[in-house]
Structure 1
Amino acid sequence: MIEGDRELSAMVQELWDNDVNRLQPGKDYRISLQGKAGNNMAINDNSDGAGYPLFSFVDENIFKKETFLAFISLLDNYESDTGKPEIVTPEEEAENHKFLDAIVQTAAMKRAHKYLVEKHLSPQDETQFKKQLYRIWFELYARRGSSRPDSSGFEHVFVGETRGGRTVIGFHNWIQLYLQEKLGHIDYKGYSVDANSPQPDENRHILALQFSWKKGIKTKGSIFMGVSPEFEFALYTLCFLTSPNERVKVQFSFYDVEIVCHHHNQKHIGTTYPVLLRYQNQE
Structure 2
Amino acid sequence: MARSDAVNRELSDVLNELWKLDDNRLKPGKDYIISLQGKAGYVAKGSQARDMARQPLFSYVNEEKLRSIKSYSSFISLLDNYETSTGVTETVTKEELDENDRFLDAILETKVMQRAHSYLVSKAQSPPDLKKFKAQLYDIWFRLYHRDRSGGADSCGFEHVFVGETKFGKEITGFHNWIQFYLQEKLKNVDYKGYKAQDKDKPDENDHVLNLQFSWKTLVKPVGSCFIGVSPEFEVALFTIVFLMSKEKVTNTTVQVDEYLLELVVFRHGFSIGTSYPKLLSSNMHM
Q: TM-score range by the shorter chain?
A: over 0.9
From 246, 264, 267, the counterpart of 2:269: 264
1:250 paired residue number: 255
Distance 1:115 1:46 in 2: 43
Matched, 1:234 2:259: no
Give the total of aligned pairs. Answer: 280
Distance 1:46 1:134 in 2: 37
CA RMSD of aligned residues (A): 1.9
2:221 paired residue number: 218
What amino acid is aligned across from residue 156 of structure 1 in structure 2? H
Distance 1:260 1:146 in 2: 27
Task: Tell me, yes or no, if the aligned pair for 1:254 and 1:280 is still in contact at 8 Å.
Answer: yes
Judging changes above 3 Å, is the alpha-carbon distance between structure 1 residues 124 and 33 closer, same or farther for their aligned structure 2 residues? Answer: same
1:160 paired residue number: 164
Q: What secondary structure does 2:131 align onto?
A: helix
What amino acid is aligned across from residue 228 of structure 1 in structure 2? S
Task: Tell me, yes or no, if the aligned pair for 1:210 and 1:220 is still in contact at 8 Å.
Answer: yes
Cα distance per residue 1:7-42 (max 9 Å; x no partner): 111100000000001111111110111111121247
The within-5 A match list for 1:190-205 is 190-194=194-198, 198-205=201-208
Identity of aligned residues (%): 54
Task: Tell me, yes or no, if the aligned pair for 2:266 and 2:274 is still in contact at 8 Å.
Answer: yes
> What is the deviation of 1:146?
3.6
Matched, 1:62 2:40: no
The within-5 A match list for 1:89-100 is 89-100=93-104
What is the TM-score of this pair, normalised by structure 2? 0.93
Q: 92-101 or 39-48: which moved more?
A: 39-48
Distance 2:72 2:61 in 1: 13
Task: Tell me, yes or no, if the aligned pair for 1:42 and 1:217 is still in contact at 8 Å.
Answer: no
Cα distance per residue 1:49-88 (max 9 Å; x no partner): 1111111111111112100010000000000001111111
Task: Tell me, yes or no, if the aligned pair for 1:36 and 1:192 is still in contact at 8 Å.
Answer: yes
Distance 1:146 1:191 in 2: 35
Q: What secondary structure does 2:276 align onto?
A: strand
